[in-house]
Amino acid sequence: MNRLLVCGPKQFNKKQFVHSLFSEDKEFENVLPDCSQAGTIVTDLTLSTAYYTTKADVFIDEPDEDSEIGYKKWLEELLDTEARELRDSLQFIILVFGSESEYRFCKKQIEGLNRLMDDENPPQWDGETAVVLADCVNSGNEEYEWSSFEEIRESVRLVNWREMEKRIPLSIDGKLGDVDFDTALANLRDAKLYLHQLSNHLTKVSFSENPDKLHFGFLKPQLIGKDLSKVLITPENFEEHRDFLPVLHKMVKNHVAEDQTYIVDAMNYPGSHMAIGDFKVILDFMNQRPEMPNTIGFIRVNEDMEMIPESYEENDMYTLCNIDGVIKLSDYMNEKIHDYL
């Protein structure tokens, strides 16, 4: 079972927060709880996205006393060896603080928790820690030191949960045909992809003009139509070439730290892990992570905001083609991939 942990002060309604977090459209407004929520377990919460559906349990706890020292003691208990079994079960930790000074007082323990979770789950923890300020739940912080409710909801949806049922949807509403063909064809050209119809039964999709080079997928013959200039690649008619993904990961691992696009992005992740997304979807704001099916892999960024190539880890949930379109690489990566085909 997937598990999360939420800790916060007694006057913060953590049960209400959790139920709002797992709701598609429910907003959060803190209603003072009637009693202590320490030790509460909320079970079988359903999380459903266009790419997967899963269930999770949430452990809720509170410091013994609402004070800076009380929260620090709680964190130190979570860091203790006796809490190892609990830590191993978690994929998301949400820490709600009653004040900025309380958060600053506990910052060393929070950083220690993040390091410990990575050390205990090599090469890196498959989860995330989020920090919330109780009075700013719906706004977050401009310097990204703590998260807003919507940012946490989005982060929870992006976790690669250990237990989940994957989906391969055909379009955003589950139907074919609801696509703008001109836009889709323009995206195909922008992605610098080539279709090679070698026979009535074999059409390759490739980054290379040369049909003999390694391709990354096929089009199912009964679904491609007669005019290749009007082909729309969708999850229904596309089939991945398994030999391509190891090549893609090797190229990304060797060259992502040289790509100016990701170098700039790494400045937002000192001392943590960064998602390496493709460009099927252009993200709206800094620090926004791509959806898991659009995340090629993950890489560690050191305190000097430099990527560590040997820390690169593949993302098993990555798909070359999904409802967001077909793989699209940065200009630099698009040049480099040709050396590996």
Specify the 3-state DSSP secondary structure of 301: strand
* Percent of the chain with pLDDT strictly greater than 90: 48
Q: How confident is the model at residue 171 (pLDDT cuts 50, 70, 90)?
A: very low
Residue 198 confidence (pLDDT) above 80: no
Q: How far apart are CA 8 and CA 96, in angstroms?
A: 4
Query: Across residues 243-259, what is the average pLDDT?
Result: 95
**Which of 87-91, 137-141, 205-209 is predicted with the least confidence, judged by mean pLDDT?**
137-141
Specify the 3-state DSSP secondary structure of 302: coil
Range(s) of the chain covered by CATH 3.40.50.11960 = 2-166
Per-residue pLDDT tens for 93-102?
999 999 889 9
Q: How far apart are CA 72 and CA 105, in angstroms?
A: 8
Query: Across residues 55-60, what is the average pLDDT?
Result: 96
145's tokens: 């030191």
> What b/e string do you get for 58-94 counting C-beta neighbours within 10 Å, with b at 16 or more?
bbbbbbeeeebeebbbbbeebeeeeeeeebeebbbbb
Q: How far apart are CA 322 and CA 135, in angstroms?
A: 39
The pLDDT value recorded for residue 291 is 87
**pTM, 2 dp:** 0.62
User: Mean pLDDT of all residues in the chain?
Assistant: 84
The pLDDT value recorded for residue 230 is 59
Q: Strand pairing of 52-61 and 321-322? A: unpaired
Distance of CA 111 to the CA centre of its chain: 21
The pLDDT value recorded for residue 336 is 94
Query: Across residues 296-312, what is the average pLDDT?
Result: 92
The pLDDT value recorded for residue 221 is 66
The DSSP-derived string for 258-285 is G-HHHHHHHTT-TTEEEEEE-SSS--SS
Name all contacts of 256-260 with Cβ < 8 Å and 24+ positions apart. Answer: 256/299, 256/307, 256/309, 256/312, 256/333, 257/299, 257/306, 257/307, 257/308, 257/309, 258/332, 259/330, 259/332, 259/333, 260/332
The pLDDT value recorded for residue 157 is 85
Residue 73 confidence (pLDDT) above 80: yes
Q: How confident is the model at residue 276 (pLDDT cuts 50, 70, 90)?
A: very high
Of residues 156 and 142, the one with the higher pLDDT is 156
Q: 2-166 maps to which CATH number?
A: 3.40.50.11960
Specify the 3-state DSSP secondary structure of 56: strand
Residue 144 confidence (pLDDT) above 90: no
The pLDDT value recorded for residue 185 is 45
Q: How confident is the model at residue 288 (pLDDT cuts 50, 70, 90)?
A: confident
